């Protein structure tokens, strides 16, 4: 897969003399990552078969941190340094709860590792660098605009996500670097927020690095996340006027088998009412581990229905191609 030659507009690029740490050294730890996924893979329909973003060297023996969707079900993974050197990578494991993935570089770059910082210190207003693979010209001088929960439509929740602006245009796997030159987050997505008077602006949501610290050792030792897998419904959900509405049902997923439909409004889980995505997910996950039956109350065409969904382990839907 070819790597793109795009650049961040010069006005948004970080300037070396504006930081007390060695900016160029820190950004040399951020790589470009690309992967190829088989057309038959479960995630191919939603995430595509060719994916590209950034990844971060976190130890000098070739341990690489990135976001899971860039490498999920990948049959090949390639890493490129800013100087153009390319090395193959092997997937170690993905933690679906946090969204992090670990990759092992199969060759040496001889580049420094970016030290893990404390994401709890990334406070609103703090100046940060959102580093993209390829160096300073692919990075953004930004600041933290919010610290708050983020609930994703794909059954995902981060309690203390880092929101920053201006947005990095190629956000996946970018390194959120604090004023100490340490890694405090990893870019996950771009969202649009209201700016006032009908205007909007794009900002990035990043996963706090402290979450990675809780799953790093299990991923390294077994390639598997810590603890039992969460129950997964296989739905795409959104909030609409204080209601949780199903905007999509995953093919071959548990909810498809239970005959849930797009447009269903979920009003309760196990008899407990819900009005937002965060509550929906927490009530679902509190039922037990993957495989537990989830009693849902839904509204469909003005009628209230009780539906029981036998949940599944999301990871079992993904194939795990053998790499190198």
Q: What is the mean pLDDT of residues 106-117?
A: 96
Domain of residue 152, CATH code: 2.40.10.120
pLDDT at residue 168 is higher than 80: yes
Residue 181 shares a structural domain with residue 50 = yes
Residue 217 shares a structural domain with residue 262 = no
Question: What DSSP line would sit under 105-125, residue for residue?
Answer: ESS----PPPPB--GGG--TT
pLDDT at residue 1 is higher than 50: no
pLDDT band at 322 (very low <50, low <70, confident <90, very high): low
The per-residue pLDDT for range 252-308, each reduced to its tens digit, is 899 999 999 999 999 999 999 999 999 999 999 999 999 999 999 999 999 999 999
> Does any domain span residue 240?
yes
Question: What DSSP line would sit under 275-311, residue for residue?
Answer: -SHHHHHHHHHTT-STT-EEEEEEEETTEEEEEEEE-
Choose among 16, 9, 24, 5: nearest CA to 166: 9
Are 294 and 281 a contacting pair, CB within 8 Å? no
Q: In whole angstroms, what is the distance from residue 44 CA to residue 82 CA? A: 28
State yes or no: cis peptide before 283, omega within 30 of 0.
Answer: no
pLDDT for residue 2: 43
Contacts of 231 (CB under 8 A, 6+ apart): 284, 285, 287, 288, 289, 290, 291, 292, 294, 311, 312
The per-residue pLDDT for range 112-154, each reduced to its tens digit, is 999 999 999 999 999 999 999 999 999 999 999 999 999 999 9
- Residue 224, SS3 per DSSP: coil
Q: What is the mean pLDDT of residues 36-46?
A: 92
> Does any domain span residue 324?
no
Domain of residue 278, CATH code: 2.30.42.10
Count of the separate structural domains present in the chain: 2
Residue 232, φ and ψ in degrees, nearest 5: -125, 130
pLDDT at residue 323 is higher than 70: no
pLDDT at residue 53 is higher than 60: yes
Lowest mean pLDDT among 59-63, 173-177, 209-213: 59-63
Q: What is the mean pLDDT of residues 230-243?
A: 95
Q: In whole angstroms, what is the distance from residue 169 CA to residue 173 CA? A: 12
Q: In whole angstroms, what is the distance from residue 290 CA to residue 302 CA? A: 31
The per-residue pLDDT for range 63-95, each reduced to its tens digit, is 999 999 999 999 999 999 999 999 999 999 999
Domain limits at 59?
1-227
């Amino acid at each position: 897969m070819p790597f793109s030659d795009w650049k961040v507009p010069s006005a948004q690029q970080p300037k070396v003399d504006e930081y007390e740490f060695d900016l160029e050294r820190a950004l040399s730890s951020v790589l470009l990552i690309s992967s190829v996924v088989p057309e038959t893979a479960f995630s191919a329909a939603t995430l595509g078969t060719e994916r590209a973003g950034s990844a971060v060297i976190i130890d000098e023996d070739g341990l690489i941190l990135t976001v899971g969707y860039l490498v999920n079900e990948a049959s090949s993974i390639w890493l490129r340094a800013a100087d153009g050197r390319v090395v193959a990578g092997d997937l170690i494991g993905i933690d679906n709860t946090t969204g992090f993935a670990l990759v092992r570089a199969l060759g040496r770059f001889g580049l420094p590792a970016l030290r893990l910082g404390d994401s709890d210190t990334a406070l609103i207003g703090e100046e940060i660098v959102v580093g993209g693979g390829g160096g300073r010209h692919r990075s953004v001088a930004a600041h933290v605009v919010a610290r708050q929960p983020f609930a994703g439509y794909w059954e995902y929740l981060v309690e203390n996500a880092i929101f920053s602006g201006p947005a990095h245009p190629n956000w996946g796997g970018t390194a959120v670097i604090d004023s100490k030159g340490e890694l405090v987050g990893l870019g996950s997505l771009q969202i649009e927020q209201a700016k006032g008077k009908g205007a909007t602006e794009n900002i990035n949501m990043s996963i706090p690095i402290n979450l990675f610290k809780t799953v790093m050792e299990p991923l390294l030792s077994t390639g598997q996340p810590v603890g039992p897998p969460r129950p997964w419904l296989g739905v795409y959900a959104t909030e609409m006027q204080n209601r949780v509405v199903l905007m999509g049902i995953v093919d071959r997923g548990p909810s498809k088998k239970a005959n849930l439909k797009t447009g269903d409004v979920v009003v309760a889980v196990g008899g407990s009412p819900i009005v937002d995505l965060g509550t929906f997910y927490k009530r679902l996950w509190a039922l037990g581990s993957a495989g537990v039956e989830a009693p849902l109350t839904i509204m469909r065409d003005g009628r209230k229905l009780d539906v029981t969904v036998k949940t599944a382990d999301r990871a079992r839907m993904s194939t795990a191609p053998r790499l190198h």
